[in-house]
Amino acid sequence: MEKLFLFNTLSRAKEEFIPLETGKAGIYCCGPTVYNFAHIGNLRAYFFEDILKRVLLYNGYDVKHVMNITDVGHLVSDDDEGEDKMEKGASREGKTVWEIAEFYTEAFKNDIAMLNILPPTVYCKATDFIKEQIDMVKCLDDKGYTYKTNDGVYFDTQKFPEYGKLALLDIEGLEEGKRIAFSDEKKHKTDFALWKFSPKDQKRQMEWESPWGTGFPGWHIECSAMSIKFLGRHFDIHCGGVDHIPIHHTNEIAQAEACTGEKFVNYWLHGEFLIEEKGKMSKSAGEFLRLKTLVDKGYSPLDYRYFLLMTHYRKKIKFSFENLDAARNGFQNLKNRIKEIKSAAPQQSKTLTDEALKYKTKFHESINDDLNIGEGLAILWDALKDSALNDLDKVLLANEFDEILGLDLNKIEAEKPDDVPEEIIGLANKRKEAKAAKDFKLADELRQLIKEKGYELLDKKGGEFEIKPL
């Protein structure tokens, strides 16, 4: 097996990936809180995890990928204060919390499918594993890591000497600021809720009995409990966005390691943020960009995937429509180039020449160097432009690299004499996306437009279609 290097937030260094079990990789990725649609920044986090998973698969690992769906307990503030995001979403829309969760879970799955993100092996909803979460709080309680306040059961971070090792937190500095920062019954600024009590005068839509009183789990406990359930007490890789380093993942480590007494995770990987001109993209700020917003403006989801591919996951990306336009043009040029090559060499080769193998090796080295996919994309371009390579090699390389890129390059077909014009194909693809996004009004309008231009669309299974001249 080739050596694979990943940047581990725990050590702040690139380390060789050595799995716990030869040939296998267990990864846990913090999933969405399903109280609203995902914005395109959230989708960047799942895209980075998709590249990680594809690189592991490319290297021959048998990957078990677990993702949680947070449908309870994620409070608006990271300080365990404020409303539950789910209950807030439900009252905003006049629906039950359960309906909100189901609706936005489906919307999330739809978004990631449109971006060619491979679905996880296991999706686990927090509300399906309340017992496991209570058991973990009991374990921490038995070992003396907890204390009770009026509003819940808290983890006493001073009892876990390694607290903050992931974030390299300055605990003393945080403690100094504590009188200004908070004034509840928490003993230390960094302590966090394991179990919150339902308000005395109010019945929550989601609440459960526990040994400490009726209530609901703190947000962090679900990830420790469910990752251990599906991947074991000690597993290979845990990932999420960089915002998870100082609190969520720091707390996950504390709970898990305090309870099991062993190391929780070997490699922690974090994806940087997508930012806008005005700063961080956030849902609480009101208007936010969804994948569907981009589709409505005429971009394909894969234009956005190409845009994301150009930047390393540990660098910030500034989103602007100019940058997205540039990515769309680059992607269109790539598709055109591959179409030309396929048209010139319609049959497929099965083996690469030595000259092409050098490109394959370089590509593999790049992706194994902490997922340097931007360099991988540049290597594909170099190969396509290299006159020393024959067309059969180029097609084979593009198809192979697409196992990581996920741009559907293998679906590009050679030009046929009676080809339907690109414009019509573009409209039909847009309609397919509109249908996938359940925007049937737009889908009907596009079908009509295609008809006016002299073509008929015949729908097939799985959202595919055939285009015929009228």
Q: What are the residues binding ligand AMP (CB under 6 A)?
A: 30, 32-33, 41-42, 44-45, 240-241, 243-244, 273-274, 280-281
User: Half-sphere exposure of residue 309, counting CA atoms within 13 Å on the CB side?
Assistant: 29
Q: Which residue, judged by CB position, is nearest to ligand AMP in the bound state?
A: 241
Nearest residue (CB) to ligand AMP, 145 versus 219: 219
The reply to whether 30 sits near Zn ion by the rule CB under 5 A is yes
DSSP bridge pairs for 69 = 125
Half-sphere exposure of 162 (CA within 13 A, CB side): 15
Residue 332: CB minimum distance to Zn ion, A: 37
* Residue among 166 and 223 whose Cβ is closer to Zn ion: 223
How many CB atoms sit inside 10 A of residue 165's CB? 14
Between 239 and 392, CB nearer to ligand AMP:
239
Minimum CB separation of residue 38 from ligand AMP in Å reads: 7
Between β-strands 122-125 and 62-69, what pairing exists: parallel, antiparallel or unpaired?
A: parallel
Binding mask 165-204 for Zn ion (x = CB under 5 A): ----------------------------------------
Using a 10 angstrom Cβ sphere, with 0-12 exposed, 13-18 middle and 19 or more buried, the burial of residue 436 is middle
Nearer to ligand AMP, 33 or 372 (CB): 33
3-class SS shares of the chain: helix, strand, coil, % to 5: 50, 15, 35
Shortest CB 163 distance to Zn ion, Å: 17
Give the tokens for residue 166: 């992931």
Residue 397 interacting with Zn ion (CB under 5 A): no
122 class by beta-carbon count within 10 Å (0-12 exposed, 13-18 middle, 19+ buried): middle
260-285 burial: b if 16+ Cβ within 10 Å, else e: beeebbbbbbbbbbbebeeeebebee
Q: Which does 223 bind (CB under 5 to 8 A by kind): Zn ion, ligand AMP, none?
A: Zn ion
**Contact between 223 and Zn ion per CB under 5 A:** yes
Could you say which of Zn ion, ligand AMP, none residue 98 binds, taking C-beta under 5 to 8 angstroms by partner kind? none
Least Å from the CB of residue 30 to Zn ion: 3
CA pair distance 96, 33, nearest whole angstrom:
15
Among the listed ranges 30-38, 97-105, 172-180, 349-357, the one in contact with Zn ion (CB under 5 A) is: 30-38
CB of 255 to Zn ion, least distance (A): 11
CB of 230 to Zn ion, least distance (A): 13
Based on the shown chain and the rule CB under 5 A, indicate whether residue 112 belongs to the binding site for Zn ion: no
Nearest-approach distance from CB 55 to ligand AMP, in angstroms: 19
Q: Which does 42 bind (CB under 5 to 8 A by kind): ligand AMP, Zn ion, none?
A: ligand AMP
What gap in Å lies between CA 227 and CA 212, rounded to an integer?
Answer: 24
**Closest listed residue to residue 322, CA positions, set 272, 273, 276:** 276
Q: How many residues bind Zn ion (CB under 5 A)?
A: 2
Number of separate helices (H) and strands (E) present in the chain:
16, 16
